[in-house]
């Protein structure tokens, strides 16, 4: 795909963006996605991760594309994306090979033990730290799981998943490398997306819009055209009218009961 060049870019020779996406696993498999989350965090998040050192620190790209980097749990099948901006056009074709080399090195050498422990401690801290937005953040994190029918009881057992992973990690120290091999190196479901700047982008898009408009209007009769123009004028008049805000519902402080109404609830504890 193409985009409009950025005239304010201090690096005009590095305006390309590229991303590589991996299909992971069914979101309903809670534990497997938990381990995949650990793997993705160790690969991408932080200045000392393999992908950061190989893609950003090395000078291949200038920075991550925030909206296209990390694990995505919004769909039934989770996915992992590595998006880099500020890439030279001549370096685009090397992107998948660089990532493959980085992942191969991870499978060979593994992750530092202290990095894995730090990631596990971060999970444990997140479930213990009750911030002002703890409830809201919890609901937002649960929304994707609810939409796809995930067992919420299993989904909330973060502590149990951490303990299970520690046990399996003790038995098999190469468990994370095996996940990298299975879900990244041996993965056949990959997607590479490239965006290059095009100085003619604006004129090309304007021409496409004009052609699309011509296709929509070429079979319209003069009478139909007049009706559409009339509706457009009526809509404009309606939008320019002052809105009647008195019809909106209004809640006064005296409408709120001073005492909270007790509601029945069931209390359960998830480790």
pLDDT tens digits, residue range 199-209? 999 999 999 99
Q: Does 212 lie in the same domain as 139? A: no
Within 8 A by CB and 6+ apart from 6, the residues are 15, 197
Q: Does 101 lie in the same domain as 211? A: no
134, pLDDT greater than 80: no
Q: Does 192 lie in the same domain as 205? A: no
CB 15, CB 195: distance < 8 Å: no
Number of structural domains found in the chain: 2
pLDDT digits (tens, 9 = 90+) for 70-91: 999 989 999 999 999 999 999 9
Q: Does 183 lie in the same domain as 74? A: yes
Q: Is residue 117 part of a domain?
A: yes
Q: Is residue 107 part of a domain?
A: yes
Would you call 243 helix, strand, or coil by DSSP?
A: coil
Q: Is residue 35 part of a domain?
A: yes
pLDDT digits (tens, 9 = 90+) for 159-175: 899 999 999 999 999 99
CB 130, CB 243: distance < 8 Å: no
pLDDT digits (tens, 9 = 90+) for 1-20: 999 998 888 888 899 999 99
Would you call 16 helix, strand, or coil by DSSP?
A: strand
Cα angle 51, 53, 57; round to 5: 125
Which pLDDT score is estimated for 133?
A: 75
Q: Does 63 lie in the same domain as 181? A: yes
Which pLDDT score is estimated for 270?
A: 61
Residue for token pair 């009881």: 153
The encoded tokens of residue 37 equal 């989350």
Q: Is residue 254 part of a domain?
A: no
Which pLDDT score is estimated for 135?
A: 78
Helix and strand numbers (H, E) in the chain are 10, 6
Q: Is residue 249 part of a domain?
A: no
Indicate the residue among 197, 221, 238 that finishes a domain.
197
Q: Does 46 lie in the same domain as 93? A: yes
Q: Does 206 lie in the same domain as 182? A: no
Q: Report the C-alpha gap between 169 and 118 in whole angstroms.
A: 14
Which pLDDT score is estimated for 271?
A: 56
Q: Does 216 lie in the same domain as 164? A: no
Q: What is the mean pLDDT of residues 150-159?
A: 87
Give the other-Cβ count within 10 Å of 200's Cβ: 11
Q: Does 76 lie in the same domain as 102? A: yes
Q: Does 209 lie in the same domain as 107? A: no
Would you call 83 helix, strand, or coil by DSSP?
A: strand
Cα angle 103, 109, 114; round to 5: 105
pLDDT digits (tens, 9 = 90+) for 26-54: 999 999 999 999 999 999 998 899 999 99
Domain span at residue 153? 2-197
Q: Does 173 lie in the same domain as 219? A: no
Which pLDDT score is estimated for 9?
A: 86
Q: Does 205 lie in the same domain as 141? A: no
pLDDT digits (tens, 9 = 90+) for 212-231: 988 988 888 889 889 999 99
């Amino acid at each position: 795909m193409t985009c409009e060049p950025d005239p304010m870019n201090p690096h005009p020779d590095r305006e390309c963006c590229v991303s590589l996406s991996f299909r992971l696993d069914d979101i309903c498999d809670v534990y497997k996605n938990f381990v995949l989350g650990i793997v993705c965090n160790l690969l991408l998040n932080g200045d000392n991760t393999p992908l950061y050192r190989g893609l950003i620190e090395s000078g291949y790209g200038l920075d991550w594309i925030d909206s296209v980097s990390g694990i995505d749990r919004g769909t039934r099948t989770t996915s992992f994306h590595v998006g880099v901006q500020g890439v030279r056009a001549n370096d685009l074709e090397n992107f998948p090979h660089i990532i493959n080399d980085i992942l191969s090195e991870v499978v060979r050498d593994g992750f530092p033990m202290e990095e894995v422990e730090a990631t596990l401690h971060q999970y444990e801290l997140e479930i213990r730290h009750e911030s002002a937005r703890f409830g809201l953040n919890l609901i937002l994190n649960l929304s994707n799981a609810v939409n796809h029918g995930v067992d919420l009881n299993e989904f909330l057992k973060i502590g149990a998943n951490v303990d299970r992973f520690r046990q399996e990690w003790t038995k098999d120290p190469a468990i994370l490398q095996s996940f990298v091999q299975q879900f990244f190196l041996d993965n056949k479901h990959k997607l590479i997306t490239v965006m290059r700047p095009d100085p003619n982008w604006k004129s090309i898009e304007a021409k496409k819009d004009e052609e699309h408009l011509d296709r929509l209007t070429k079979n319209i009769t003069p009478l139909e055209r007049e009706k559409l123009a009339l509706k457009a004028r009526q809509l404009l008049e309606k939008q320019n009218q002052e809105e009647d805000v008195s019809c909106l519902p209004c809640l006064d402080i005296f409408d709120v009961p001073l005492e909270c109404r007790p509601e029945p609830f069931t209390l359960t504890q998830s480790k």
